[in-house]
Structure 1
Amino acid sequence: MNSIPLHQRTLAQLLREQAHAHGDKTFLLYYGQAFSYAEAYEASRRIAGGLAAVGIAPGQHVGVMMENRPEVVWLNFALALIGAVVVPINNASRGDLLAYYTSQSDSVALVLDEAFVDRVAAIQPQCPKLGHIIVCPDETTTGPKAWAFDNVQVHVWEAIANAPALPADAPEPAYSDILQILYSSGTTGVSKGSMIANATAVRAAQKHVEMYGYTSEDVMYTCLPMFHGNALNCTVLPALMAGATVALSRRFSTSMFWREINECGATRTSLLSAMINFLWLRERSDEERSHRLKTCLVVPAPEFANEFEERFRVKATSLYALGDFGYATMFGPDEPREKIRSAGRPLPEVALAILDEDDQPVAPGDVGEICLRTNEAWFARQGYYNLPELWVGANRNYWLHTGDRGRLDEDGYLYFAGRNKELIRRRGENISAIQVEDVIRRHPSVADVAVYAVRAEFLEDEVMATIVRREGCDLDPAELVRFCAPQMAYFMVPRFVEFLAELPFTATGKVEKYKLRAAAEERMSEIWDREAAGIKLEK
């Protein structure tokens, strides 16, 4: 399917061609509203014109903090038409992390929902390159409203969205121009922004269509947030490539999921680990078997994947992808079902090896580090923005070292086996233990801390902190939570907290977190639990 000439692989050109090809066909469904391909293109052109009119130029970076709704889709398209770079920012970001995303990415503008204005106002002095803020008022706002920012031009979304369309003779983006900067969770202490070129995003959309069999008859449902790469790059762009329809939901709801799937007539969808578990543990219903779904992308494939297919009458597909690299393996609907726990085989465009600590291949079936490199130019990421030294450090002996562990079976199928990295996976969010530790260490009563995952209910990991107090200092768990909440995303704040006299260390001075986790999981009922204490966090 690699038939699009390289110089034509831009999202701007793909959008324009599909709008002309499909015209009145529905591209987006959103709670009773339907938008055609032509309407999506025209809305995007007007937003692009409005952004250009206030000074957003090709190559400039624009941060986005918006809840799911059609406007965020049009905004992504509009920035692509201009040739600007979208920087999706997790809506839970606040404090130093929000300032870091904005300043490290060199964003000259932020487009945000009104609900996030106060957060941005608090960090604006830390972002000297920020020149424009575009506010999307919420549905309850009546009449004009002023937002106070220093040395920043503030614009209202309606003025941007209703501007004259971007001129037809506007500069055309190149296949090599960066389209997106997607930030990692910062597993080495620094969140890294991976640069995705236009050609990479278009090629990835092609691979989804090719490997999963998407067609123009499909309705592709997503309830994942648009600031995650999955919603845009696994659903919206593949749907655009296939000439299919996107059904967009505001957010995931266990109780509403199957109803929404049925109401929109979805034929394809994606689920992350926590969502899979919540649906699996839910009481059975007629709705979960009366749908039109053909495939469901489940990442990672759960232990009950075969039973999942039988119960929900849907083919499970999967993949292995990395924010730092892109797509490496895919497991399609026609693969052998005895391989369903795998993430599929390496794509032809990717070389994948399982290596030991000396970068030597291990035997089939043995576990080692998953290492990647590309066989095709522009198929993978183009490095970390403003952090070239970390990009060089991640690549050794011509391999990108993922920090993930896995094995290849005798047929070449990849099985994920865990992570080397300081990464916690909580309900679909990747959390850097190092970043949480860095915040906790700022508390004057903390001498040392170890943050790690513990298994709680719903078959999911939760964040736990084991803390050593400074001599003579007093600190209780609730105070620690109050200290953390304004400085990190809500999902990063430890749920479980304990205090010890000292932490266990290896001979080389590394905290033995596996010992802490094992000991904690044997006595979870005795450990302080934020949720049991009734402390609620602002999202």
Structure 2
Amino acid sequence: MTNENRPRPSHAAPGVRHNLDYPVIPLYQFLDDAVSSFPDAPAAIFAGSIQTYRDLGGQAARLARALWELGVQRGDRVSLMLPNCPQMIAAFYGVLKAGGIVVQVNPLFLSRELENRLNDCGAETIILLDEYLPLLQVIQSRTSVKNVITVNLGGKIKAPRMNGGNVLDYDALLEGMGTEAPPHFPNPANDAALIQYTGGTTGVSKGVMLTHFNLVANTLQVRETLAAACCRGQDRILVTLPLFHAYGMTLGMNLAVSIAGTQILLPRFDAGAVLRAINEYRPSFFPGTPHMYMSLLKHPRLADFDLSSIKACISVSAPLPAEAVRRFEALTRGRLVEGYGLTEASPFITVNPLCGAEKPGSIGRSLPDTECAVVNLDTGEKELQPGEFGELIVRGPQVMKGYWNQPEETAYALRDGWLFTGDVARMDEDGFIYIVNRKKRTITAVGYDINPRDVEDVIYEHPGVTEAVVIGIDSLYYEKTIKAYIVLEEGVTVTAEEIIRFCRERLEEFQVPKVVEFRESLPKTIAGKVLRRVLIEEERRRHKPVNSG
């Protein structure tokens, strides 16, 4: 890349160190340190019960020993299919202590998706919630899975034994098990701790190999950025982002354990449950998605709850509307800022500053020891000047080792030490970055390249709109035309003609949606990202042009 040797000013936020020391340790060392320093501190609050770090650390150590006795070796993949619960945390670190590689599985998977994931990673052991066992039974014979460990959150019903399979109850397996560490100490710099699959919002999921060092580094980078809101041994984090997703894993679990903090675990997002948890347990940090914060603001009993414990929130996975920021910060008197990351970067790359000025529409500045550059879209070999649009590329200690069993994809994404993100962006003179679009999402209509976010931001300005996304569709009259999918506020009635007229008053004619479809909800990943490819496939299956009417 040209300009490679140009001096790069650090763009870390004010009050944040630009360079950190990263210990070469296994990720589970965070848990061991918390157990040693704060054994009786609450590690997790779940369904009204509290587990201390002594409890959690002992559980992870016993599971590690049990896995070793079951034959798990260094580098073996172990799948986890669990919701947010203490057993999920213990299982994650227990697998690492056994020398294994964690492969997280979405509990909402159908049997076909589960089969594909297990076969791609080659896992021979899976730890899952007992109610998911029938789903596994359907496909187990077509996978490499030999050992099945079931978790029962009620603590009463034990897992049935399947014919021809080794099915073990989690609690029974750990009962009486020793805590002596298995003889599998990883190489933190090179050994994968995790194979985390991408969300597949624009294509097929890929298994991202993240080393112990990658995950340790990203945890410390985030911890430095949030130092004002996360004090060791003191603070509580509300965890409703799924731990099986990279965002929840880093912002919730790994961050909390690294500061010996308390995780307030909710198995799924529910606005009422979140408000009650904040009111009762007083978390200081609440990572979430725009949908979560906006849902809280619309809750009919919002005024009944005290949210003043919140010091900071980082919003991820989708653009954060400015109005939501203003209202949420006025309500809590904490900070709500937008961050950005990719699974391939463990996942965090940038965040807006908690202290000092931020810039609306920006994803913030790079984390410590993280370099970001914007390069030309066609070759990726020329670094562009501030304000110019191009592909965002990144390098830093959190960048992945590569894709699991996909050397060609790895070579394309990692070039000369840089991770090519696939996101079109610009950077200003102060190092603030603005995401324009995914390279694959640009809509070419009537000869113009259109950024979907430009259109979506305008639609969001309409007072009746809760959610909006636009895609390019085939048209009888145009090469491509823009279609908007919109979710309205409850009880609000708006017509397609009103939306089109609203956009026409604020956009160039070629940017105005020609088709509007109202929906009760939009298809999303578990992290809250809209699955545009699902909408595109729906359009393709219709097999005919769509007129604007």
Q: CA RMSD in A?
A: 3.2
Aligned pair partner of 1:371 in 370, 389, 393: 393
In the TM superposition, residue 190 of structure 1 has moved relative to its aligned partner by 2.9
User: Which residue of the partner structure matches residue 412 of structure 1?
Assistant: 431
Return the alpha-carbon distance in structure 2 between the equivalents of residues 247 and 140 of structure 1.
20
Partners of 1:319 and 1:344 within 8 A in 2: yes
Question: In 2 relative to 1, CA 340–33 (structure 1 residues): closer, same or farther, beyond 3 Å?
Answer: farther
User: Which residue of the partner structure matches residue 166 of structure 1?
Assistant: 179
Question: In 2 relative to 1, CA 12–408 (structure 1 residues): closer, same or farther, beyond 3 Å?
Answer: same
User: Which residue of the partner structure matches residue 334 of structure 2?
Assistant: 314
Partners of 1:48 and 1:165 within 8 A in 2: no
User: Which residue of the partner structure matches residue 264 of structure 2?
Assistant: 247
User: Which residue of the partner structure matches residue 101 of structure 2?
Assistant: 85
Q: Could you report, residue by residue, the CA deviation over 1:180-219 in whole angstroms, capped at 9, with x for unpaired residues?
A: 1110123564311111111111111111211011112211
**1:351-370 matches, cutoff 5 A:** 351-358=371-378, 359=380, 360-370=382-392
Is the aligned partner of 1:332 residue 2:350?
no
Question: In 2 relative to 1, CA 395–497 (structure 1 residues): closer, same or farther, beyond 3 Å?
Answer: closer
Partners of 1:15 and 1:240 within 8 A in 2: yes
Question: In 2 relative to 1, CA 220–500 (structure 1 residues): closer, same or farther, beyond 3 Å?
Answer: closer
User: Which residue of the partner structure matches residue 488 of structure 2?
Assistant: 457
Question: In 2 relative to 1, CA 453–22 (structure 1 residues): closer, same or farther, beyond 3 Å?
Answer: farther
Partners of 2:322 and 2:360 within 8 A in 1: no
User: Which residue of the partner structure matches residue 465 of structure 1?
Assistant: none
Q: Which amino acid letter does the alignment assign opposite residue 65 of structure 1?
A: M
Q: Could you report, residue by residue, the CA deviation over 1:449-496 in whole angstroms, capped at 9, with x for unpaired residues?
A: x9998333369xxxxxxxxxxxxxxxxxxxxxxxxxxxxxx9897699
181-190 vs 450-459, which moves further:
450-459
Count of residues in Structure 1 that have an aligned counterpart in Structure 2:
448
In the TM superposition, residue 269 of structure 1 has moved relative to its aligned partner by 0.7
Q: Which amino acid letter does the alignment assign opposite residue 308 of structure 1?
A: F
Q: Which amino acid letter does the alignment assign opposite residue 349 of structure 2?
A: A
Q: Which amino acid letter does the alignment assign opposite residue 370 of structure 1?
A: L
User: Which residue of the partner structure matches residue 403 of structure 1?
Assistant: 422
User: Which residue of the partner structure matches residue 175 of structure 1?
Assistant: 188
Return the alpha-carbon distance in structure 1 between the equivalents of residues 141 and 338 of structure 2.
43
In the TM superposition, residue 141 of structure 1 has moved relative to its aligned partner by 5.8
Q: Which amino acid letter does the alignment assign opposite residue 168 of structure 2?
A: H
Return the alpha-carbon distance in structure 1 between the equivalents of residues 308 and 261 of structure 2.
18
Partners of 2:65 and 2:181 within 8 A in 1: no
Partners of 1:209 and 1:215 within 8 A in 2: no
Is the aligned partner of 1:277 residue 2:291?
no
TM-score (norm. length: structure 1): 0.75
394-403 vs 23-32, which moves further:
394-403
User: Which residue of the partner structure matches residue 322 of structure 2?
Assistant: 303
SS in 2 for 1:260: helix
Is the aligned partner of 1:10 residue 2:26?
yes
Return the alpha-carbon distance in structure 2 between the equivalents of residues 99 and 258 of structure 1.
37
Q: Could you report, residue by residue, the CA deviation over 1:381-421 in whole angstroms, capped at 9, with x for unpaired residues?
A: 11111111111122346532212222212211012222223
In the TM superposition, residue 332 of structure 1 has moved relative to its aligned partner by 2.7
Question: In 2 relative to 1, CA 140–84 (structure 1 residues): closer, same or farther, beyond 3 Å?
Answer: closer
SS in 1 for 2:383: coil
In the TM superposition, residue 500 of structure 1 has moved relative to its aligned partner by 8.1
SS in 2 for 1:256: helix
Question: In 2 relative to 1, CA 340–493 (structure 1 residues): closer, same or farther, beyond 3 Å?
Answer: closer
Return the alpha-carbon distance in structure 2 between the equivalents of residues 280 and 356 of structure 1.
40
Aligned pair partner of 1:343 in 356, 363, 373: 363
Question: In 2 relative to 1, CA 70–458 (structure 1 residues): closer, same or farther, beyond 3 Å?
Answer: farther
Could you list the runs of 5+ residues in structure 2 that have no partner in the other structure? 1-16, 443-451, 454-468, 472-480, 491-529
Aligned pair partner of 2:58 in 42, 47, 57: 42
Is the aligned partner of 1:200 residue 2:217?
no
Is the aligned partner of 1:19 residue 2:19?
no
Could you list the runs of 5+ residues in structure 1 that have no partner in the other structure? 426-430, 434-449, 460-489, 505-515, 524-539
Return the alpha-carbon distance in structure 2 between the equivalents of residues 130 and 453 of structure 1.
43
Q: Which amino acid letter does the alignment assign opposite residue 154 of structure 2?
A: E
Partners of 2:68 and 2:182 within 8 A in 1: no
Partners of 1:115 and 1:138 within 8 A in 2: no
Q: Could you report, residue by residue, the CA deviation over 1:345-398 in whole angstroms, capped at 9, with x for unpaired residues?
A: 122422212223232334423332222223xxx431111111111111223465
